[in-house]
């Protein structure tokens, strides 16, 4: 599955049970396809979180962050914002814990191919501005290689939040500055003895003394879509 140089991460804490099933159908059948028809949108994956600071996640793959600054995207947002209060568009914006943020890829620095894996492990951090160089060196040269040696870890990807966008982009700002996305073949990989051992080191202890972890989410994929639309629902 192709990836892009940027992503939109959408998070919801929960969806009311009285319309959750219908909302999920609308999200897969209407909401996501409307975006994948726009320039710059490549693919989308949806996840249900089973641990952490979210209930549902959506990851949109973008050619680059300009996709959410295009006139086509702004027009779609204007139309959705004009819908009545009982529409799914309006109710979605008011769901608990709703966040929508745009991130650009900073690792790897080559093209990214999203594997056909079922689980996602999301970690988000804030760091002091003067620590970014060391944070990057630690993550790229020690931590990610160690994690990718853990059975069940398939890929790792790091992203940094884009500068503030226009209100029409819908981006929120109360989210972590940096994200790491791990695609997992096994949901138990993040509980294994190997993971618990290899995530620690003297350098890691030092970095942990000054970063702030904002997110730690474990989630299972529930659907994915590509452009052209090829939808694969996951039971």
Residue 231's pLDDT is 45
140 pLDDT more than 60: yes
Digit-coded pLDDT (tens) for 51-106? 999 999 999 999 999 999 999 999 999 999 999 999 999 999 889 889 999 999 99
Joined tokens for residue 38: 């726009």
Q: Is residue 1 part of a domain?
A: no
- Residue 109, pLDDT score: 87
In a domain, 27, yes or no: yes
Task: Count up the domains in the chain and report the number.
Answer: 1
Alpha-carbon distance 58 to 112, whole Å?
A: 18
Region class of 229: left (phi > 0), else alpha (psi between -120 and 50), else beta: beta
Say how far apart CA 163 and CA 107 lie, in whole Å. 18
Q: Is residue 18 part of a domain?
A: yes
Each residue's pLDDT tens digit, 153-178: 999 999 999 976 555 555 445 789 99
pLDDT at 151 over 70: yes
Report d(CA 95, CA 85) in Å as an integer: 13
Does some domain include residue 114?
yes
pTM: 0.91
pLDDT at res. 234: 47
Within a domain: 19: yes
In a domain, 176, yes or no: yes
Confidence of residue 227 (pLDDT cuts 50, 70, 90): confident
**In which residue are the tokens 């004009």 written?**
82
Say what the pLDDT of residue 172 is: 44
pLDDT of 1 above 80? no
Residue range of the domain that includes 198:
6-233
Please name the residue ranges forming H helices in 9-127: 17-26, 32-36, 71-81, 88-93
Can you say whether residue 47 is alpha, beta or left, with left for phi > 0 and alpha for psi between -120 and 50 degrees? beta
We report the CATH number of the domain holding residue 57 as 3.30.70.100
Residue 218 lies in a domain: yes
Report if residue 113 sits inside a domain: yes
Residue 148's pLDDT is 98
């Amino acid at each position: 599955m192709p990836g892009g140089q940027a992503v939109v991460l959408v998070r919801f804490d929960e969806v009311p049970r009285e319309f959750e099933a219908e909302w999920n159908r609308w999200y897969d059948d209407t909401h996501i396809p409307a975006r994948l028809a726009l320039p710059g949108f490549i693919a989308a994956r949806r996840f249900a979180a089973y641990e952490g600071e979210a209930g549902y996640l959506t990851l949109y793959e973008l050619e680059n962050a300009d996709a959410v600054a295009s006139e086509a995207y702004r027009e779609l947002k204007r139309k959705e914002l004009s819908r009545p209060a009982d529409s799914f568009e309006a109710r979605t914006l008011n769901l608990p814990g709703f966040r929508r943020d745009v991130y650009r890829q900073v690792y790897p620095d080559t093209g990214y191919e999203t594997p056909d894996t079922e689980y996602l492990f999301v970690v988000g951090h804030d760091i002091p501005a003067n620590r970014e160089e060391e944070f990057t060196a630690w993550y790229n040269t020690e931590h990610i290689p160690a994690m990718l040696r853990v059975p069940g870890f398939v890929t790792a990807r790091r992203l940094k939040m884009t500068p503030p966008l226009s209100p029409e982009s819908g981006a929120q700002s109360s989210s972590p500055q940096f994200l790491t996305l791990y695609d997992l073949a096994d949901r138990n990989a993040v509980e294994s003895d190997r993971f618990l051992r290899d995530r620690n080191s003297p350098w890691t202890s030092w970095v942990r003394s000054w970063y702030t972890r904002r997110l730690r989410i474990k989630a299972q994929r529930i659907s994915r879509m590509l452009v052209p639309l090829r939808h694969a629902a996951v039971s």
